[in-house]
Chains A and B, each alone.
Chain A
């Protein structure tokens, strides 16, 4: 039980920078062995949380626990953490070998053991033969791997990564994401990484902590955040969001609360030609195509629907649609926003059909 829960825990943590309230009553629990993302826009307080866990910042109030012990007064170097900085912070006047060996040398590890450990890590990150290079002689991806190896060298219990992919160009980034995920899963180390990129968090993390304005908005697995966003912020931040103000005028969505604000997702919308014989054609309403964008794997169709500009995707194999064409639009479901609360609302015709079946 204790093996698998709450390896890192923050209880009622607050942090100010001058007048700026960077962390507001943060309560989070991170299970052992999990890869967790702190996701939020810049200035949302995610890096502050990470730096407090690392001991680089100190909370004004509240407790930070690692493995059941309060570590507020334990220096970062004794918390058993490895830290990968956004800029990697490799020691630029040391070779790759010396960089990775640094943490071990500080701990007075015998040189023969250091040699073994560095060789092992170089193999792990697939950078054998680069030991004598300086950081400036490495590519962005190699630097990231070396930073990762350096953080792992002293066998930490927790790995903290601050925007680990921010400094890498887009193509290498995708490759490194997969690499890092595999690597962390293989080692089985509890890892927390900060990112502002929702795709990155969704693809890499087991669990996501969404932060906004110094607060934790929601904690959940990527599918949970997609299907059950808890707050207005999360529903807007995760996934593609199309706000509409008059969903109650949509067919089969009649009957509403006091507000008629809702968020649609492209994947909640189906578009088909008027003659097309598909499942929901009876319950669909008409819309006018305003724009068609070729996205490679599919087409993005922008359609005017009850005064709203919606965007939906359509297979490139489906019958051709022209700009200006009147098409059928079917909304499967949407998120109704009522103040801060979010509820899912289904197209009522779906329910009727399921009743019939």
Chain B
């Protein structure tokens, strides 16, 4: 390991580069958000984040995130399970489709749903008859959020499930265990940390989603404005204090997610010792 012992200039150059890069592109903007948010005093900051519309936007973001994460968790487990445990035709195709949201621009994702559920769609009269409004309403926001965070959980689970193989499940099935018992006792302990990690990533992405949600929301203040949309709205209105104050909420949520992520990685590492 001669390379690692090397204390030469290369090592310091690299470290400096990384530190400077992080500082300029990450830390500096974050600090700037806080400074700007507090530039008109703490009172202005507090009144900005306790503003009726700010609270409503934050609440909507949390709701949309909750539903998106919940649905994607169920879908992610199901998709990862069927892609790794069964052999069937079209498996590759499904696997490719799951990744589609990552490669498609969120704006396009928003437009797809406008076309699918908007007034010109054949679905519109049916849904309208049931009193369900998708576009420019909360269901649309949740749909858009689900779309952009679609692959996050299944992509975390697939490698773990592939590495595990099917032997343990077969062994349990041969002893007469039912599907649900097998999942709970054999599969779930194995994928637990990967699943939590996927949930955290999915949450982080869902909270910050702007593009697709922007197309579908209609920007109704207090009704269909999520935090990122609200921030943009304030920013366009030259309310920098308000915009940065609202941003700071998202930053705090991001930090929470980051801490969770570290904790999960730490715990998961411990469990890996059990894994041979």
Which residues of chain A have C-beta atoms less than 8 A from B9's C-beta?
Answer: none
Least CB distance from A194 to B in Å reads: 14
Q: In the assembly, what is the distance between CA of A94 and CA of B185, in Å? A: 9
Question: Given A91-B186, A92-B275, A92-B276, is A106 in contact with B177 using a C-beta cutoff of 8 Å?
Answer: yes
**A102 to B167, alpha carbons, bound, how many Å?**
15
Residues in B whose Cβ lies below 8 Å from that of A20 = none
Complex: A77 Cα to B167 Cα, angstroms: 15
Count residues of B near A (Cβ-Cβ below 8 Å).
20
Q: Is A83 an interface residue, CB under 8 A from the partner?
A: yes
Task: Kindly identify, within residues 44 to 81 of chain A, every residue whose CB is under 8 Å from any CB belonging to chain B.
Answer: 54-56, 76-78, 81
* One of B168, B170, B185, B273 near A56 (C-beta < 8 A): B170
CA distance A85 to B175 in the complex (A): 13
Residue B35 interfacial (CB < 8 Å):
no
Contact of A186 with B by CB under 8 A: no
Chain B residue at smallest Cβ distance from A162:
B167
Given contacts A87-B165, A92-B168, A92-B190, contact A56 B174 (CB under 8 A): yes
Residue among A55, A102, A135, A136 with the most chain B CB within 10 A?
A102
User: Is A87's CB under 8 angstroms from B274's CB?
Assistant: no
Q: What 1/0 flags go to B72-114 for Cβ under 8 Å of A?
A: 0000000000000000000000000000000000000000000
Q: Which residue of chain B has the shortest Cβ distance to A102 in the bound complex? A: B175
Minimum Cβ distance to chain B for residue A131 (Å) = 16
Are B171 and A136 closer than 8 Å at their CB atoms?
Answer: no
Q: A91-B186, A102-B177 are in contact. Are A85 and B276 (CB under 8 A)?
A: no
Residues of B within 8 A of A89 (CB): 167-168, 170-171
Complex CA gap A159/B129 in Å reads 62
Pairwise interchain contact B175-A54, C-beta atoms closer than 8 A = no
**Chain B, 170-193, contact with A by CB distance < 8 Å: what is the 0/1 string?**
111111110001000110011000
Nearest chain A CB to B53's CB is how many angstroms away? 48
Task: Count residues of A near B (Cβ-Cβ below 8 Å).
Answer: 25
The answer to whether B176 and A91 have CB atoms under 8 Å apart is no
Q: Are A76 and B274 in contact (CB under 8 A)?
A: no
Residue A54 contacts which of B165, B174, B274 (CB distance < 8 angstroms)? B174
Known: A85-B170, A87-B165. A154 touches B175 (CB 8 A): yes
> A56, A92, A134 — which one has the most chain B CB atoms within 10 A of its CB?
A92
> In angstroms, how far is the closest chain A Cβ from the Cβ of B89?
11
Contact for A91 among B165, B185, B273, B276, CB less than 8 A: B185
Beta-carbon nearest neighbor of A103 in chain B: B175
Q: Say if the beta carbon of A294 comes within 8 Å of chain B.
A: no
For B171, list chain A residues within 8 Å (CB): 83, 85, 89, 91, 150
A107 at the interface (CB under 8 A from B): yes
Q: Is the CB of B176 within 8 A of A78?
A: yes
Residue of B nearest to A54 (CB): B174
Also in contact, A136 and B276, with CB within 8 A (given A85-B167, A91-B185): yes
Other A-B contacts than A89-B171, A107-B176, 5 sampled, CB-CB below 8 A, are A78-B176, A89-B170, A93-B189, A106-B176, A106-B181
Interface residues in chain B, defined as those with a beta carbon under 8 Å from any beta carbon in chain A: 165, 167-168, 170-177, 181, 185-186, 189-190, 273-276
8 inter-chain pairs at a CB distance below 8 angstroms, sorted by A residue, are A78-B176, A83-B174, A89-B168, A90-B168, A92-B274, A93-B274, A94-B185, A102-B172
Measuring CB to CB, which residues of chain A are less than 8 angstroms from any residue of chain B?
A: 54-56, 76-78, 81, 83, 85, 87, 89-94, 102-103, 106-107, 134-136, 150, 154
Closest 7 A-B residue pairs measured CB to CB? A89-B167, A103-B175, A77-B176, A93-B189, A89-B171, A136-B276, A106-B176
